[in-house]
Amino acid sequence: MIYLLITTLFSQTPIDFADHLYATGDFQRAALEYERIGFMLETDTPLASYALLRAGESLLRQGERERASQIYSAGLGKFKDDEHRYTYGLIRSSFPEGKYIQVDTLAANLEGTELNRQGTVYRSFALAFAGDTAGAVQHFASLQETLPGNAALRLIRTPPRHRSPFFIATLSTVLPGAGQAYCGRWGDAWQSFSVTALMTGAGVYYLAFSQDSTSANTVKGIVFTSLGGLFWLGNIYGAVNAALDYNEYEERKRTEQLYNLMKQFDLDVEIKRP
């Protein structure tokens, strides 16, 4: 009733006001207005659908993914004509939450619709982040005519450069610091080698080669050899840590590269007012 009264009395409608808020970037208030209008109309009119889609979009832009997801889910059962748009909204709200399997399932419903390409992009990256390399390659293949799609496909096909902690530990066991050097930690490698060699060397000297074999020299020998042994053990522990750090860094770098490629796709969908 109030809506009709306002519509009749003023040329500016509440939806105009909501559009104004959205256009000026006040997504918080825009979301409230759109939501109110969307539920107030309570019919399956295109305008109500438009309001709900804009409400979801405003909430997504504010980072309120859970609420956006609720709105898209409500709209999905209500507006049959815009089903694919609500599905896409659900995909966009689920992806940052790490619900990659859900994204994959939802994106399958977008095949053959106008949002097929966007759905495929989300699906490909979701599978890549979920660790399903074969699935990701299959979907990235359909995007390979685009520059980021081709780059993502190449990245996914290249296995990550990992260092085996066992191999690195073996290297450092044989030659202190070798494992750290293999992981690119040259400073740690040099210090591990020199300090272990110095302590062990001093210990061996006092125990075996010293001219003066007094008890004081024996004690010195034992102390230095023990310290050498402890530095050697610490060096092996450090080598394993270096390998694990290296692997984590490589994974992080790969993830960042994938996200950067994803950002290069145009994933925005225009919501036109009916």
Partner 1 sequence: MKRILLVLLVISTISLVARPANPLSVGADLTLGFYQRLISPLQGGHICNFSPTCSNFSRQSFSLYGPFWGTLMTFDRLERCNPGAWRLVDLYYSGVENERIADPPRNHHLPSRLRSSKGKTDTASVNTLVEDVSE
Interface positions with partner 1 (CB under 8 A): 60-61, 63, 65, 92-93, 95-96, 185-188, 190-192, 195, 230-231, 233-235, 237-238, 240-241, 244-245, 248-249, 251-252, 255-256, 259, 262-263, 267
DSSP string over the chain = -HHHHHHHH-SS-HHHHHHHHHHTT-HHHHHHHHHHHHHHH-S--HHHHHHHHHHHHHHHHHT-HHHHHHHHHHHHHH-STTHHHHHHHHHHHHGGGT-HHHHHHHHHTTTTSTTHHHHHHHHHHHHHHHT-HHHHHHHHGGGTTSHHHHHHHHHHHSPP----HHHHHHHHHHSTTHHHHHTT-HHHHHHHHHHHHHHHHHHHIIIII-S---HHHHHHHHHHHHHHHHHHHHHHHHHHHHHHHHHHHHHHHHHHHHHHHHHTS---------
State in angstroms the smallest separation of the CB of 4 from partner 1. 35
Q: Based on CB atoms, which residue is closest to partner 1, 166 or 190?
A: 190
Measure the CA–CA gap between 76 and 87, rounded to whole angstroms: 7
Q: Based on CB atoms, which residue is closest to partner 1, 10 or 190?
A: 190
State in angstroms the smallest separation of the CB of 81 from partner 1. 25
State in angstroms the smallest separation of the CB of 237 from partner 1. 4
Q: Based on CB atoms, which residue is closest to partner 1, 84 or 185?
A: 185
Report how far apart, in Å, the C-alpha atoms of 5 and of each of 9, 11, 109 are: 6, 11, 41
State in angstroms the smallest separation of the CB of 263 from partner 1. 6
Q: Based on CB atoms, which residue is closest to partner 1, 84 or 99?
A: 99
List CB contacts of 52: < 8 A, sequence separation 6 or more: 34, 35, 38, 71, 74, 75, 78, 79
State in angstroms the smallest separation of the CB of 230 from partner 1. 5
State in angstroms the smallest separation of the CB of 102 from partner 1. 14
Q: Based on CB atoms, which residue is closest to partner 1, 192 or 200?
A: 192
Measure the CA–CA gap between 252 and 160, rounded to whole angstroms: 11
Q: Based on CB atoms, which residue is closest to partner 1, 15 or 152?
A: 152
Q: Based on CB atoms, which residue is closest to partner 1, 14 or 89?
A: 89
State in angstroms the smallest separation of the CB of 262 from partner 1. 5
Q: Based on CB atoms, which residue is closest to partner 1, 111 or 248?
A: 248
State in angstroms the smallest separation of the CB of 159 from partner 1. 18
